[in-house]
Amino acid sequence: MMELIPLLMFIVVCGALMLGYPVAFTLGGTALLTAGLGIVAGVFDAELLRAFPDRLYGIMQNGTLMAVPLFVLMGVMLERARIAEELLVNLARVFSGIPAGMAVSVVVVGTLLAASTGIVGATVVTMGLMSLPTMLNRGYSPKLATGTICATGTLGQIIPPSIALVLLGDTLSNAYQQAQLSQGIFNPKPVSVGDLFVGAIIPGLLLVATYILYLLFIARREPATVQGQHEQVDLAETLKSLFPPIALMLLVLGSIITGAATPTEAAAVGALGAGVLAWSRGALNWARAGEVGQSTLQVTAMVFAILIGASLFSLVFRGFGGEEVVTHFFENLPGGVIGATLLVMLVIFLLGFILDFIEITFVVVPIVGPVLLAMGLDPVWLGVMIALNLQTSFLTPPFGFALFYLRGVAPAEVATSAIYRGVVPFIAIQLLVLCLLAVWPSLATWLPGYLAG
């Protein structure tokens, strides 16, 4: 009977979230209620809850998590200063001479926007408002236009540097240490957020390249769906809009890859650089700075509130022996580590329909991560697989988050069925890349190992 309590906790949390209750309070409330009942029944040690203040202190002292508000500030600043919109307009002119040029520019700008925010909703809504009306006016089919925007919006899960990878990297780092300690390794080898950033570069670029190749293929096979018009390009104006934000992205990511800066330090540089860009273009005043600060505070507070609730949930979950139950279950699965990995990926994919990446990162990964890593999986490879898996889940009808976000800003004449049909080819592309990564883990592990010497 005791081994069923952790499972019931997980089911209650999922049910409450589906009913719309706040994530942070659902996690903390479920944990406290279950712990209270366990104390009354004499099956839970109340002394375990004394570890919770130490966990809170550890969260607040975590230097890696300081990158979260800084990356959020960077992304919000670029969005509110309309730098991303200016990028899209100028890139569309540059690519106007090639088939599907507008769609290609959407992918490129969406990639840069994903790297700066990492929030699926923000990227999809921003790209939908900026590019969807223009693409429809230029003769793009609603199916191709909406599919391109939705797919591009989910790139924030895999394109570094992003909040999703920061949170996933920190969680996997803790899970990897637990896995090594459980194996009797008392001098555990660390894995950093920077390692996950570097590991995600090749899969992320492969995904973007495949998107663009698909768009060029469609333009050649079905030219009527991607009608466009050649525009005069002002080279000086184009370089003025393109160079500063691209240089900022390269500076942030390059400083992490070369080891010149930690992700937190690079995020600080990115936030400062975004502010300077906005100010230099006259797009930053006191009112807009206040809006940027408020939006950053809201997202940061949400992330840390969920992290605190998830910390309490995992403490109570382990107090009821949940970790041992998961370990025993995985060890008895047919197929060994392959069977366990496939099951976890399937569960994460399905949970992506009802939970955001933050909840999955803080609730599911700490439960299954130590077990899978103790079975011999590479933490960087596992992290990139989870990110790609979530990206596919957020794009899959009928529950994908990206579809809901775009439906909310798309014109009424764009049918929901067109959005669903439009994402199908991009889902196939993401599944292809996911399979390639599963067959060749070196796509994620080679570059971090090479840079580490």
**Tens digits of per-residue pLDDT, 66-120?**
888 888 888 788 777 777 777 777 777 777 777 788 888 888 888 877 766 556 6
pLDDT digits (tens, 9 = 90+) for 404-419: 788 887 888 888 888 8
CA 400 from chain centre, in angstroms, equals 14
Task: Find all residues with CB under 8 Å of 412, minimum gap 6, and list them.
Answer: none
pLDDT attached to residue 382: 92
The encoded tokens of residue 327 equal: 């370990």
pLDDT attached to residue 115: 65
CB 338 within 8 A of CB 359: no
CB 172 within 8 A of CB 365: yes
Which ranges constitute the DSSP H helices of 352-396?
357-359, 365-374, 379-395
- Whether residue 175 lies inside any domain: the answer is yes
Q: Report CA-CA distances (Å) from 34 to 39, 314, 360, 442.
A: 9, 12, 20, 42
- Whether residue 39 lies inside any domain: the answer is no
CA distance 218 to 364: 38
Residue 161's pLDDT band, with cuts at 50, 70 and 90, is confident
The encoded tokens of residue 324 equal: 């041992």
Residue 446's pLDDT band, with cuts at 50, 70 and 90, is very high
Cis peptide before 398 (omega within 30 of 0): yes
Residue 224's pLDDT band, with cuts at 50, 70 and 90, is low
Residue 140's φ and ψ, nearest 5 degrees, are -70, 145
- DSSP lists the bridge partners of residue 226 as 140
Q: Report CA-CA distances (Å) from 369 to 42, 74, 382, 386, 398.
A: 29, 30, 9, 10, 28
pLDDT attached to residue 211: 94
CA distance 164 to 67: 11
pLDDT attached to residue 444: 92
Choice among 37-46, 81-90, 310-319, 434-443 with the minimum mean pLDDT: 81-90
pLDDT attached to residue 438: 93
Q: What one-letter code names the amino acid at 32? A: L
CB 143 within 8 A of CB 425: no
pLDDT attached to residue 310: 83
Q: How many domains does the chain have?
A: 1
Q: To the nearest whole percent, how much of the chain has pLDDT over 70?
A: 94
CB 247 within 8 A of CB 163: no
Which ranges constitute the DSSP H helices of 46-100?
52-60, 67-80, 83-94
pLDDT attached to residue 278: 86
pLDDT attached to residue 234: 67
Choice among 64-73, 235-244, 288-297 with the minimum mean pLDDT: 235-244
- Angle, CA 296 vertex, CA 293 and CA 299 arms, to 5°: 150
- Whether residue 40 lies inside any domain: the answer is no
3-class SS shares of the chain: helix, strand, coil, % to 5: 80, 0, 20
Residue 221's pLDDT band, with cuts at 50, 70 and 90, is confident
pLDDT attached to residue 313: 87
Residue 435's pLDDT band, with cuts at 50, 70 and 90, is very high
Q: Among all chains, which residue has been given the structure tokens 């240089």? A: 247
Residue 186's pLDDT band, with cuts at 50, 70 and 90, is low
In whole numbers, what is the pLDDT of the chain averaged over residues? 83
- Whether residue 34 lies inside any domain: the answer is no
Average pLDDT score over residue span 189-218: 89
- Whether residue 248 lies inside any domain: the answer is yes
Q: Among all chains, which residue has been given the structure tokens 């392959």? A: 338
- Whether residue 234 lies inside any domain: the answer is yes
pLDDT digits (tens, 9 = 90+) for 77-88: 877 777 777 777
pLDDT attached to residue 227: 59
- Whether residue 19 lies inside any domain: the answer is yes
pLDDT attached to residue 388: 92
Choice among 123-132, 180-189, 353-362, 395-404 with the minimum mean pLDDT: 180-189
The encoded tokens of residue 367 equal: 């439960």
What is the DSSP code string of 235-253? HHHHHHHHHHHHHHHHHHH
pLDDT exceeds 60 at position 288 = yes
- DSSP lists the bridge partners of residue 140 as 226
Q: Domain span at residue 439?
A: 4-28+45-451
Helix or strand or coil: residue 155? Answer: helix
Helix or strand or coil: residue 192? Answer: coil
CA distance 412 to 418: 12
Is the four-CA dihedral 383, 388, 389, 395 of positive or negative sign?
positive
- Whether residue 37 lies inside any domain: the answer is no
Residue 14 or residue 428, greater confidence? 428
- Angle, CA 78 vertex, CA 77 and CA 81 arms, to 5°: 80
How crowded is residue 240: how many other Cβ atoms within 10 Å of its Cβ?
Answer: 13
